[in-house]
Structure 1
Amino acid sequence: MERPPVAPIRLLQLGALVSTLDRFALPPMLVAIAHDLGAPLSEIVTAAGAYFLVYGLSQPVWGTVSDRLGRVRTMRVTLLLAGVFTLVSALSWSPLSLGVTRGLAGGFFGAAYPSSLIYLGDTVPAASRQRDIARLMVGVAMGTALASVGAGVLADAVSWRVAFVVTGVASLLMTWALRGLPEPEAHGRPASAMDGLRTIGGSRIALLMLLFAFTEGAVLLGALTLLPPAVENAGATAALAGGVTAVYGVSVFASSQLVGRLAATWHPWRLIAMGATAAVAGCGLLAVSQEPASAVVVALLLGLAWTSMHSSLQTWATEVLPGARATVVSFFAGSLFVGSALAAVLVAGLADAGRYALIYAVYGALAVPLGIAAGLARRRWVRPAPETGT
């Protein structure tokens, strides 16, 4: 008897798991890598920033490529190349070589999650899209938890290099698994990349969303990236710091269920407000204490902030300009990670000096205007025309 095909959302969840596994493997190992390579922590944090920077800058490129090459083929080709460069990064011998190889891997991994969002935008009706985007975050949650615990344990017990071997092989396997994902119909896509850019440039709300994504990346991804070294700075081991960060994955998993239910009755602006409030509370708490017990609560709050606010902004990105969906979503994702990368570079010196209280106080302060502005803008926005999906 022939097996039934795997549901598209399951394959997309697996793709999200693999790309997130790679993205979150590095933070729990920052201190271990610095010790092994004999380099200052600031240089390794900068190398991590290079990953997020290239990851972010590459995404607008992949959105355009997916319009021409196809959503599924783009995911498969980029995951193949990401796996290769991740395996090569396991051989890094200096902060520079680590930054270069991780940057290349990040550039190709940059296609995975945005392509999944675009795929959902192409195939799921707008009315139920946030529910599926919240389900997609289950893959993010699992990848985050596995990377946070596994990478820290591997760094302590064996070597940080093994973690990159694991994520590289997983990426290659995902390339094969995605062969069964059906390609959505190509309809209503921009005639050229310039058409998509002109459409975004002429939309004030689309440009405002890119600013929201940039700020959110600096706050939420910045806060999460530095959570393990902040806990280690307070005296914890890499494994314990990774375990604390794994709580974030558990929180994303639980919060995705909550947000999926609330999305059926709550207006998105309320979800954005809830997420911003959680971000302010989490960053404020870590500004006061970086002890593991406090960090566990912070990880829970950051997971709620990500699932509530970010999924709402992501869903909005798939709706605001349906005719240029791939361009908008990819630029949105690019802005998110460019914001994260810039934040990592700006606070690298403070992290090296152990001034995490100041770093998280700034993150908390930035979350306040972000939540207010994004919530008000989403409350006032009206979908320009009926969109049913395909």
Structure 2
Amino acid sequence: MSKPPAAAAKQLPDSALRFVGFLSFFDRYATPPMFLALSLATALTLSQAVELVAGYSLLYALGQPLWGMASDRFGRLTVLRCALFGVVLGAIASSAFTGFLSLLIARSFTGFMFGALYPTLLTLLGDTRVGLAKARGLSDLQIYSSLGTTLATLVAGALATFVDWRLVFLLPALGAIAALATLRRVAEPLREATARNFKAAFGAENLLLYAAVFLEGGLLMGMLAYVVPALQDAGVGIWISGLLGCGFAGGVIFGARLMRLLVSRFSRTWLIGIGGVVLWASFAPSAFAPSPAAFTCTAFLLGVANAVMHSSMQGWATEVAPQARATTVSLFVFSLFFGASAATYLTADLAEQGNFSRIFGIGFWLSIFLVVAATWLHARWLARQLD
């Protein structure tokens, strides 16, 4: 009679899932708000500071297939622990260097390690939850991830300016140590016993999904990195620009609550379309009437699009190939962050020139193609599932 409680006590708690999601997005979004402060405190140019994020996102993306295969082979908790230990090393190294090349290597390594966290959380939710429980788990993960984005956007620039930029890179190391302490006695969760089929992750429908999320990553995450720098370029102070940039998190929280109403009334295909329209609309103010108010509106609507469209895309990714779920999810996240990295790299020169309205204008036109393509692809996939 005492055995079940003992086993239950070793399961991964929801609080750990939420905290790791929070930590992952805090580190991901801590660098953009301190672009200017970092370039002033070191020998880096603004373009080089932007390239730190591009390198981080690139290694974050490239590590996904490796983490996915490792997760299937060695277990979800093993991957989480190894990655968190690597985060500690990478964060410490990031705070120790000031030269561009050394910082680029340190930040890229840190991105590689952080890349294991969020897809592993998604895989755990796919393994252990179904139906409404999965939807709620994804919603909770979105909310806590947005809180990580919020805190990073709010305090990173101020800490870098008024205290030390190194502190911003060290905080995730402390969080990773705390997470490791929480996980030290947690057992590997039971998951559905399915035959491993690596090839299933590379089916035609999977590849089209990866292509769609590549573009979504460039538009949703790549463009979001420019909201706070655009506000600062428009003359808004560091602290206020960070506060206004938190409109993204407000949009995620609002969108997550909205999803509770929409999910019972609309199919996932419609949710992808609705979220895609919001994404398209988010770029209009900043592209055609750039101002601090417009950039703030863009941040908020990007958050709503993230909660509605991207969470629906995540749910699709956990179901498109159940027999290769970890690999599929890892490739999904790879495509997302590779898209974000590509968008940031390709627009770095425009950011150096302060031409943020043109950057958001590119997002405006490309998002029209994305919403049509993603909605059609999901409708086609769903029709085939019902045949």
- Helix, strand or coil for the counterpart of 1:359? helix
Distance change >3 Å, CA 190–CA 82, structure 1 → 2? farther
Partner residue in 2 for 1:239: 239
Structure 1 residue 376, shift from structure 2 partner: 1.8
Report how far residue 340 of structure 1 moved.
0.6
208-217 or 243-252, larger mean C-alpha shift: 243-252
Contact 2:227 2:296 in 1 (8 A): no
- More divergent stretch after superposition (173-182 vs 365-374): 173-182
Q: Distance in 2 between matches of 1:247 and 1:261?
A: 21
* Residues in 2 aligned to 1:54 and 1:383: alpha-carbon distance in whole angstroms: 35
Kept in 2: contact 1:155–1:238 (CA 8 A) = no
Q: Any stretches of 5+ residues in structure 2 without a counterpart?
A: none
Cα deviations by residue, 1:267-304 (Å, 9 ceiling, x for unpaired) = 11221112111111111111134432222211110000
Deviates more, 1:143-152 or 1:242-251: 242-251
> Hey, what does 2:338 align to over in structure 1?
338
Aligned match for 2:156, one of 151, 155, 162: 151
Partner Cα distance (2:319, 2:16) in 1: 23
Between 1:347-356 and 1:35-44, the stretch displaced more is 35-44
CA distance in structure 2 between the partners assigned to 1:176 and 1:384 by the alignment: 45
Residue identity in the other structure for 1:46: E
Q: Output aligned runs, 1:16-31, within 5 Å.
A: 16-31=21-36
Paired residues of 1:274 and 1:308 also in contact (CA < 8 A) = yes
Structure 1 residues 180, 269: CA separation in 2 closer, same or farther (over 3 Å shift)?
A: farther
Structure 1 residues 303 and 40, CA gap change in structure 2 (3 angstroms): same
CA deviation after TM superposition for structure 1 residue 39, in Å: 2.5
The aligned amino acid for 1:237 is G
Residue-by-residue CA offset, 1:72-106 (whole Å, 9 max, x unaligned) = 12112101111221121012212222211010001
Equivalent in 51, 55, 61 of residue 56 of structure 2: 51
- Show the counterpart of 1:379: 379
Tell me the residue number matched to 1:354. Answer: 354
SS in 2 for 1:265: coil
Worse overlay, 130-139 or 204-213: 130-139
Matched residue, 2:210: 210
- Structure 1 regions of 5+ residues with no counterpart? none
Q: Distance in 2 between matches of 1:131 and 1:371?
A: 24
Residue 75 of structure 2, aligned match among 70, 78, 82:
70
Q: Which moved more, 1:268-277 or 1:121-130?
A: 121-130
Aligned to 2:87: 82
* Conserved? CA contact 2:271–2:309, under 8 Å: yes
Other structure's SS at 1:158 match: helix
Shift of 1:188: 4.1
Q: 2:291 matched to 1:295?
A: no
CA shift in 2, pair 1:23/1:286, >3 Å: same
1:313–1:147 distance in 2 versus 1, CA, 3 Å: same
**1:213-267: CA deviation from partner (whole Å, max 9, x where unpaired):** 1001110001111111111111122222211222211221232122134223321
2:229 is matched with which residue?
Answer: 229
Q: TM-score, normalised by structure 2?
A: 0.93
User: Aligned AA for 2:355?
Assistant: R
Over the aligned positions, Cα root-mean-square deviation in angstroms equals 2.1
Note if contact 1:280-1:364 (Cα within 8 Å) is conserved in structure 2: yes
- Asked whether the 8 Å contact 1:65–1:74 carries over to 2, the reply is yes
Report deviation, 1:332. 0.3
1:200 is matched with which residue? 201
SS at match of 1:24: helix
- Find the residue that maps to 2:273 and give its secondary structure: helix
